Chain A
């Protein structure tokens, strides 16, 4: 790694930090509540994007089923909120049960009376399920596209299950959270939304540090090894199954946290979170931002979603075209994403093309070797 490279990276990171902290401090006062709420939602989505970056960018596992864990986290939070604010309804159970003539709370709702259980359930349940699915798949050395297809199929399994079970979890309608109470306050109220924004901002930063810690050192090296040449990792004596399962469940846990934060800020959790397009969208955030960069995942999630809401407000029909175009563009022209492009030789090549910067006169092979060295 050359000296200038390190400085460049640090500059990016430092400027990112300044922008981020300025944004977080300024946002609640500058933005109207509607926009603040949107920003908070997008920040919470960036946590699930971090998870996608960990499994796809670092380990090379393209999961199309992150929506499962996202929605599970959301459901955990929503179940707690529904059950704590159901005291005025008949039988002390959430209101929607009365619609389907259910009188007794289904057994799996019971533990969610406890806030402590919920606090842990939000990330442990998705992580456990991710670990289970991951272990079953990885154990058989199912990988690459087969893994993607299987995760997508699991997504459909969960979607159909949650969508069809009116009597257990209100099916298609989902669970509303904005009219529920948390610590005596209305969840949908302005002051609560501000608090949620702060919590989200802090959690995004801590998730980022956590992800950075995960990919640092030997563990991260093995992940990258699995991405680049799994058989070689296996022949060296490591068991890729364990590492893949661990990282997949970490990503699942992150998705769960993200889902819970998104749910309380959007006011509802529904099986729509488990639709196929939403899970693939998560991948495109990371792909556009730059896979294997962590920062790119956060920026990608926030900016693409912000662009989505702006474009959809102005020209509702055109967002699908733009999104489709983004997928194609990022795969064919920008395989390393925007951040990868900036970090790599992208800007220099662009300047060279316009004759603004002199070509560096070195041996081409030196450049190539240098580039390879940076990846390790």
Chain B
């Protein structure tokens, strides 16, 4: 019993990381049909945001609030990744709707650029750039429409971008002069240290459980609930679902599909940022951190059934528990006197990387029987 509980906890911990990482992908892939291979790199941006926030909170002015930096960084990571995602949508992905293979290649290119960007641009100036992007993209929409109409829109946009660039350069300079760690570019991995209240372990029903893991589970839980509420209760959520089901009809009924696309992609990317915060708590953060998750995320989405959040939840916890069962060789301790060939096989797969081999192989076999995943979308079509 205790063993089962242990396995369940570990599985849920692994699964929650997968879930929070795959959640954004499930939205972007499931609702928009876009294969976003830069999703891992958006997670990386979120992780780096956590790192930058942590260092900024060490400045004398913010030092008293240092313990709450992780909460702040969740929101910041959402905004940073979301804004980069929106920029991506506006410049590249918009041209490629309806051709997922093309989005796959283009976003792979974006992911390479983002990786190299983190390596060769000092983080302080990267922060400055993101701040200018945020201001440039959002400042125009905060002005009342009366002002917008009274002046020439071209000049208006130009001056916002000018202002945004200036602010970005200024903040970049301020950060790079006050935090020396951020003023130089480096390809080395960095570490995010959890605040003191998150260190240590909690005991739940007799099992010690690291607090960071609990935090990740909480982040995941909140993200899932928030996104479900947003999609099912809010007006924009309804519009997103409408566009997913029938783009042309929604367009005819007056839903701005362009706006829906931006919002959907922005939220999906923002969730990647939140996942980045979770990932930064697990280990060191480097330019390649996203690459470790991306294929797993896709497997979760495909296994769960595309366009179905419930399926994503089930699939990620299922994969998490299976990974723990196989990777830690728990089957052997549940059933100690199993026949020799079987136990040899289980021992063979009882490492993290071999467990991955086994899981992926199992998923491929599973898809033989249910090609559309656990919870397929219903419909009668020649092609989906």
Contacts and interface: CB of A to CB of B under 8 A. Distances in A.
A327 B109 contact: yes
Contacts of A181: none
A69 to B, nearest CB: 17
A324 interface: yes
A324 B116 contact: yes
Given A62-B104, A136-B364, A146-B302, A161 B96 contact: no
A317 B119 contact: yes
Contacts of B351: 164
Contact of B295 (A136, A152, A325): A152
A160 B368 contact: no
A105 interface: no
A338 B279 CA distance: 40
A164 B354 contact: yes
A332 B356 contact: no
A297 B39 CA distance: 28
B368 A140 contact: yes
B371 interface: yes
Contacts of A280: 105, 108
Chain B residues touching A, majority SS: helix
Interface string B40-70: 0000000000000000000000000000000
A96 B363 CA distance: 34
A276 B291 contact: yes
Interface string A134-168: 00100111101110111011101100110110000
A326 B115 CA distance: 15
Interface in B361-378: 361, 363-364, 367-368, 371
Interface in A298-354: 317, 320-321, 323-328, 330-332, 335
Contacts of A169: none
A287 B101 CA distance: 12
B35 interface: yes
B147 interface: no
A149 B120 contact: no
Given A321-B112, A324-B111, 4 more contacts: A136-B364, A146-B371, A153-B299, A320-B115
Interface of B: 35, 92, 95-96, 100-102, 104-106, 108-113, 115-116, 119-120, 291, 295, 298-299, 302, 351, 353-354, 356-357, 360-361, 363-364, 367-368, 371, 382-383
8 contacts: A145-B35, A149-B295, A150-B364, A156-B360, A157-B360, A277-B112, A324-B113, A332-B92
